[in-house]
Amino acid sequence: MAADEGGDDAMSDLHWMTVGAAARAIAAKELSPVDLTKALLDRIERLDPTLNAFIRIDGEAAMAAALAAETEAQSGRLRGPLHGVPVGIKDIIDVAGLPTTCHSKVLQDNMATADAVCVEKLRGAGAIVLGKLSTHEFAIGGPSFDLPWPPARNPWNTDHHPGGSSSGSGSGVAAGLFPMALGTDTGGSVRNPASCCGIVGLKPTYGLVSRRGVFPLSFTLDHVGPMTRTVADNALMLEAIAGHDPLDPGSAASAQGHYGAALDRGIRGLRVGFVRHFHEIDTPANPEVTAALEHVARSLQVEGAEVRTITLPSLNEFGAVNRVILQSEAWSIHGPWLSERPGDYGKLGRQRLMAGAFMSAGDYMLASRRRLQMIAEVEAAFREVDVLLCASSMDPACRIEDTAEVARTYPRQARTPFNVTGHPALAMMAGLSVGGMPVSVQFVGRYFDEATVFQVARAWERVAGTDKKHPPIV
């Protein structure tokens, strides 16, 4: 199956326009936000019955916002760098006037009275909210067929899963339903769908983006992140949503900003640490993934980077620390509901969220103490290199209804280490498998140094042309 390598900027292909191109065209009065929004809503109407990216399409409000954006643009008043550009919101993030269901019967009627801070910031930058997107139940239980809404599917092959838990975000961005989406990432939930769907997903530094108004899964591991089709769009979106929030206890003091400043600077002289043991020893990857990662490393070398091998704690141990902390903290949230109404959860959500009931305070403290040592080990690596390169998913996405293969392959990943440590980590396409499914690579940076992560990711994107590869969905 060949990928569609059509251009981004053609006005006839509004659904493949990048965020940047759309915003520039709107600012130049060459593109109407109404036309763009209408084109995307038409595409959603046509494709979403197969993709299930949406839990709720808010078409009427989106068209009203597009009309207002058009009026403002025509009078030369732009709200910000995303003026008139549509966005999808994962349905664990509050959008005022819409329910935040978390894809669960438990919160089916949970009406949000205010926007989450990240949504408020997107609207402030001029973005238009199209609706709420599918997730795994409470960002952990999926893909599942026993919930009130069906699971999202992968536009590269709709028989396959799109990753999760930000599944609708990944599926919809890749399918051209919207050019950007918000996801959340506690154990890899932005980067998994980015990997499976061949787009760009960033888990920013812990605390860079406010979590206020986002339903928690695990307080010390939760991150909100941008999902887009290009690296430049990801930097643009991060610029809009980053910033200190005094009412989020985990919020960082300040944001660096200028995330796209180094995008086209090249990578000559940058030191890249290749964490080979993750995919060669700890969790041996599918050979196609291994080959793709080696190709990325060689390409970065050709571009002038110095690539050296780096060793970190094992994936197995990172995964254990992540699970103990995640499931313990999640139990503290879900315990009362699981006691009173366990039947309102889907099977996978129930199993994963009840696990915390069987973990001890000693387990939690052990994981939390080891966490600090792991942070120190990754920080030591960053004294030797500027960026880490490693696997994201060890396999391409499998068929969604093959529950055994989903259960086997979902944990085969290298994303959780950076939820444990809080470093910024970006996943993107590394190539296509012989079966036509995306395979992925991950770049990780120093705290608050998203700009260098974007710089390396853009270098790879430019070499490989990943921003021009779209799924063969009409």
Residues with active-site annotation: 90, 165, 189
Per rule CB under 8 A, is residue 320 in the interface with another protein?
yes
- Nearest distance from C-beta of residue 313 to another protein, angstroms: 8
Query: What is the chain's Cα-based Rg?
Result: 20
Per rule CB under 8 A, is residue 370 in the interface with another protein?
yes
The one among 35, 306, 317, 402 contacting another protein by CB under 8 A = 317
Q: Are 427 and 418 in contact (CB under 8 A)?
A: no
Please name the residue ranges forming H helices in 382-445: 403-409, 417-421
Q: Which residues make Cβ contacts (< 8 Å) with residue 322, sequence separation at least 6?
A: 187, 221, 416, 417, 419, 420
Per rule CB under 8 A, is residue 324 in the interface with another protein?
yes
- Nearest distance from C-beta of residue 331 to another protein, angstroms: 8
The one among 375, 377, 433, 463 contacting another protein by CB under 8 A = 375
Label residue 24 exposed, middle or buried (CB < 10 Å: 0-12, 13-18, 19+).
middle
H/E run at residue 203: strand 200-203
The one among 153, 371, 423, 446 contacting another protein by CB under 8 A = 371
Phi, psi of 99 (to 5 degrees): -70, 145
How distant is the alpha carbon of residue 409 from its chain centre?
18
- Total chain residues near another protein (CB under 8 A): 44
Site string for another protein, 231-270 (x = CB under 8 A): ---------------xx-x-x-------------------
Nearer to another protein among residue 121 and residue 350 (C-beta) = 350
∠ CA 169-234-78, nearest 5°, is 100
Single-letter residue type at 214: V
Q: Are 298 and 270 in contact (CB under 8 A)?
A: no
The one among 10, 111, 114, 357 contacting another protein by CB under 8 A = 357
The one among 223, 350, 423, 470 contacting another protein by CB under 8 A = 350
DSSP states along 384-399: T-SEEEE-SBSS---B
Per rule CB under 8 A, is residue 78 in the interface with another protein?
no
Per rule CB under 8 A, is residue 343 in the interface with another protein?
yes
Per rule CB under 8 A, is residue 363 in the interface with another protein?
yes
Q: How far apart are CA 461 and CA 179, in angstroms?
A: 17
The one among 77, 254, 358, 408 contacting another protein by CB under 8 A = 358
Per rule CB under 8 A, is residue 372 in the interface with another protein?
yes
The residues binding another protein (CB under 8 A) are 220, 246-247, 249, 251, 316-317, 319-321, 323-324, 327, 335-336, 338-340, 342-343, 347, 350-360, 362-363, 365-373, 375
